[in-house]
């Protein structure tokens, strides 16, 4: 067994930098399309912004199981290195696109070429002692949540100071910096890197007992529903804030979701204390109901202050539920196909990410 603590620390830094880099440009994609790519028509701007925003999730949904199967056969670390290099290239290419169509094409390529979260999750699950998997995945999730929370804030400030295109290059550089701890410090044991080549990958799923596949399938479906709720609620909350406080909507929304990201990171790093007491399954049920209650609260309250509190609760319980489901998947999945199953899991998350905004917008348009 390799030193799993060293691996976890290095992967925490690598994933924080990766998600920091990926989310660096998220706040201003519509502004970039409007100002730098010269798209002035409002309806066209909305169309291309939506297309660019959802493109990554569509191709990631297709590619993630394939990369997961390759990780089971070729090693998890090599797939994570590939994902970070692919992500760095794609984010950098966004800085030189000259049309909305080129931007969408690069975003499609990014979804197909990256997938760092699934690769890192599979590597941590494979290399960590079974009784510490929950805690380790929670720590990794905190890096993802923190990088996603601070990236848009830093990216917004950087774009105001240096321009939109410079932030794409900066995001690419952050991903490349994340390669250093990954390449230099992470060690993959033979147990996950080479010994499983004969039975890993998509073909290895046939050797998994049917009850295990059913259990994993239910958990992955739960992840898809969770991610769909998370993404669609983010959009609906922004619309509610806009309706209640038009003048300060941008500031309030930014503060609320920044704080929610920190709450998610805190929950991800600490949730395992509760799972050790009551078990993963019971805790997942409690977290899911609490997550749903926070979403309902955001829909029913009538003031901005209460909405901010609802968003904080929503972020916290998402940070509890997401790593708990990932842990349960890791504990159920045989090591030989763990990366493949985490690839399917990433595909389900990408599905929720892709259709969440569309469904939320459709519901908002119908119900007003």
pLDDT tens per residue across span 302-346:
788 888 898 899 899 999 998 899 888 888 877 777 778 888 888
Structural domain contains residue 38: yes
Q: What is the CATH number of the domain that holds 48?
A: 1.20.1250.20
Domain count, the chain: 1
**Can you give the pLDDT at residue 357?**
64
d(CA 322, CA 280) in angstroms, rounded, equals 11
Q: 288-326 burial by CB neighbour count: b if 16+ within 10 A, else e?
A: bebbeebbebbeebeebeebbbbbbbbbbbbbbbbbbbb
Classify residue 133: in a domain, yes or no.
yes
164 inside domain: yes
Structure confidence at residue 53 (pLDDT): 75
Examine residue 193 and state whether it is found in any structural domain, yes or no: no
* The pLDDT of residue 110: 92
The answer as to whether 200 is a domain residue is no
The boundaries of the domain holding residue 290 are 4-187+207-367
Residue 265 lies in a domain: yes
Q: Is residue 198 part of a domain?
A: no
Reported pTM: 0.78
Residues of the chain with pLDDT under 70: 1-2, 27, 190-210, 235, 238-239, 242, 248-251, 357-358, 360-368
Whether 320 is covered by a domain: the verdict is yes
């Amino acid at each position: 067994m390799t030193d799993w603590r060293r691996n976890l620390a290095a992967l925490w830094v690598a994933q924080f930098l990766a998600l920091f880099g990926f989310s660096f440009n998220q706040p201003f994609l519509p502004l970039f399309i409007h100002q730098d790519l010269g798209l002035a028509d409002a309806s066209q701007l909305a169309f291309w912004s939506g297309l660019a925003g959802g493109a990554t999730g569509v191709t990631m949904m297709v590619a993630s199981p394939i990369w997961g199967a390759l990780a089971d056969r070729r090693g998890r670390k090599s797939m994570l290195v590939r994902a970070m290099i692919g992500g760095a290239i794609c984010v950098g290419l966004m800085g030189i696109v000259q049309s909305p169509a080129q931007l969408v094409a690069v975003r499609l390529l990014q979804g197909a070429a990256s997938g760092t979260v699934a690769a890192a999750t599979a590597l941590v699950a494979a290399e960590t002692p079974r009784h510490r998997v929950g805690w380790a995945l929670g720590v990794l999730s905190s890096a993802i949540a923190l990088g996603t929370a601070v990236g848009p804030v830093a990216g917004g400030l950087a774009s105001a100071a240096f321009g939109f295109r410079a932030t794409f290059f900066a995001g690419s550089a952050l991903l490349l910096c994340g390669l250093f701890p990954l390449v230099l410090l992470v060690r993959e044991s033979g147990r996950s890197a080479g010994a499983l080549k004969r039975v890993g990958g998509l073909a290895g799923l046939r050797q998994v007992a049917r009850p295990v596949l059913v259990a994993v399938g239910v958990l992955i479906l739960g992840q898809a529903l969770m991610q769909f709720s998370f993404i669609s609620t983010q959009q609906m909350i922004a619309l509610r804030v806009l309706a209640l406080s038009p003048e300060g909507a941008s500031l309030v929304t930014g503060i609320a979701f920044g704080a929610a990201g920190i709450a998610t990171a805190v929950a991800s790093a600490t949730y395992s204390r509760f799972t050790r007491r009551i078990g993963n399954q019971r805790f997942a049920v409690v977290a899911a109901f609490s997550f749903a209650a926070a979403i309902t609260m955001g829909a029913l309250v009538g003031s901005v202050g209460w909405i901010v509190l609802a968003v904080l609760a929503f972020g916290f319980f998402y940070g509890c539920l997401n790593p708990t489901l990932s842990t349960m998947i890791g504990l159920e999945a045989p090591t030989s196909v763990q990366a493949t199953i985490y690839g399917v899991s990433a595909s389900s998350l990408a599905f929720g990410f892709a259709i969440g905004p569309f469904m939320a917008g459709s519901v908002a348009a119908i119900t007003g």
